[in-house]
Chains A and B, each alone.
Chain A
Amino acid sequence: MAWEWLLAAFAKIGQKLFRPKDQKSLIDNSARQTNVLSKVENTYIIHLPRTDEYLVGDYRSLPQPVVDAVREQLESRTDAARKRQEIRILRHDFSDEVTEFQSFLEREDAVLRRIRPFLEPQYASILRLADYAKTCYDHGERIKGDAIRNEVGLQYGRAGRKLCNLYIKGYVSDMFRHYLEPILGSEKDVGKIRERINGLIRKLILFSEHIYFIHRGSDVSAIAAEIREAVSDRAPYIALHAAGRPNVSRTIRIIQEVGLEFLDQNAYHLQQVPIGTGTVPFIDVSITRVEDTLDDDSRVALS
């Protein structure tokens, strides 16, 4: 649409806004190129997310009450002001990106949506971005997916980038679908759920290569062989997590195939934590080097 008439009109309208007619919704979920609208000098755009309408106004007449309302929100250290109204100021060249991301979040992965309230904010943010990047890759938008991963790295460093990559590779999804989701259904203590989920993510970032979430597709012999190899390579931490009776049985069979004697011979310590507070049985098994489990006094005594 041509916006050339705007400036001539502004002198007449003062603090009024234009609402161009025929604003059709974008059914392909793409964002509007709002920076095109910004080409006319001294204009600004109001986006109303509820109706997805765009209004155009004269920047020289931005009403003082609006500036005051924005100031009040910026000063607010609570969410009270936002609960009344949310006014965001965005640069033209960022608003499409923001709109697109928020539109994506409305369709985000169902399991992630369910688990997100229990996550620490940085993990919630990284996993949302990872899901966003993964969706881009799934749709063949490789450059965009790479750009999102790069931004995760800049914002959250190496650990963030690793968690993002683990999500894209499916590790996190395994953890959610085969282990955490059944637990969520049976555990009522929110504090315990939070502690468990965030603790698992921390471990996953540190030791992802040897953390297994056992499910019906898990190959018992293949995993047992991988664990034996990890022990031979002196891996610092190996863990198995399973929820539900059949998966708990699979986990026990894996341990049997690895062999407790083999772990002993290689100076590895196995710790099994069955937890039965909920209706779904689950099991956590960690396998660590004996030298890593010794306290400082024992190290001195042995040296």
Chain B
Amino acid sequence: MATGVPPSSEEYDQVDWSDVLNEKRIDILLSRQQMIDVLRKLGHEIDDEGYVLDRVSHERIISIDGGEIKGEEVAAALPGSEVLLKKNIASFSQYLSEHGL
């Protein structure tokens, strides 16, 4: 783990979340494990085999590529109805097209 001396204010600015939340678009970039944690915070359960479950039906979520998706496979959680993507640019492209983006 990295350690060290905090930087001087010449190297960084401090920003409040309240400022960031005024932005129209925000990307939050997380590690694989953090993504699983966030899915849980969002109310998704992960079943014994590692698949992400729908928060309401408790069925396995179907990813945009048509298959079930494991927590460790989730590479993006995007606005829309439970849109979880695997690490596949074709899935992302399909998401954009479906949402007219």
B-binding residues in A (CB < 8 A): 2-9, 12-13, 15-21, 34, 37-41, 44-50, 55, 59, 62-63, 65-67, 69-71, 73-77, 79, 81-82, 85-95, 97-98, 101, 105, 117, 119, 121-122, 124-125, 128-129, 132, 148, 151-152, 154-156
Which residues of B from 2 to 31 have beta carbons under 8 Å from A?
2-7, 10-17, 20-21, 23-31
Q: Are A9 and B26 in contact (CB under 8 A)?
A: no
Complex CA gap A98/B29 in Å reads: 12
* B57 close to A (CB within 8 Å): no
* B43 close to A (CB within 8 Å): yes
A-binding residues in B (CB < 8 A): 1-7, 10-17, 20-21, 23-32, 34-35, 38, 41-43, 55, 65, 74-83, 87-94, 96-100
Q: Are B1 and A8 in contact (CB under 8 A)?
A: no
Contact flag A121-B12 (CB < 8 Å), given A5-B7, A91-B31, A95-B27: no
Contact flag A125-B81 (CB < 8 Å), given A9-B6, A50-B24, A85-B25: no
Complex CA gap A7/B3 in Å reads: 6
Residue of A nearest to B31 (CB): A38
Q: Are A90 and B82 in contact (CB under 8 A)?
A: no
Q: Are B12 and A18 in contact (CB under 8 A)?
A: yes
A21, A47, A124: the one within 8 Å of B27 (CB): A47
Q: Which residues of B contact A39 (CB under 8 A)?
A: 2
Q: How many A-B residue pairs have CB under 8 A?
A: 225
Q: Shortest beta-carbon distance, A111 to chain B, in Å?
A: 17
Q: Shortest beta-carbon distance, B36 to chain A, in Å?
A: 10
Of A19, A37, A82, A155, which is in contact with the most chain B CB atoms at under 10 Å from its CB?
Answer: A155
Residue of B nearest to A119 (CB): B97
B2, B24, B25, B92: the one within 8 Å of A3 (CB): B2
Query: Could you write out 17 A-B pairs with CB less than 8 Å apart?
Result: A2-B4, A8-B4, A17-B15, A20-B12, A21-B11, A46-B26, A50-B23, A70-B38, A74-B42, A86-B25, A88-B76, A89-B27, A98-B76, A125-B94, A125-B96, A128-B96, A148-B90
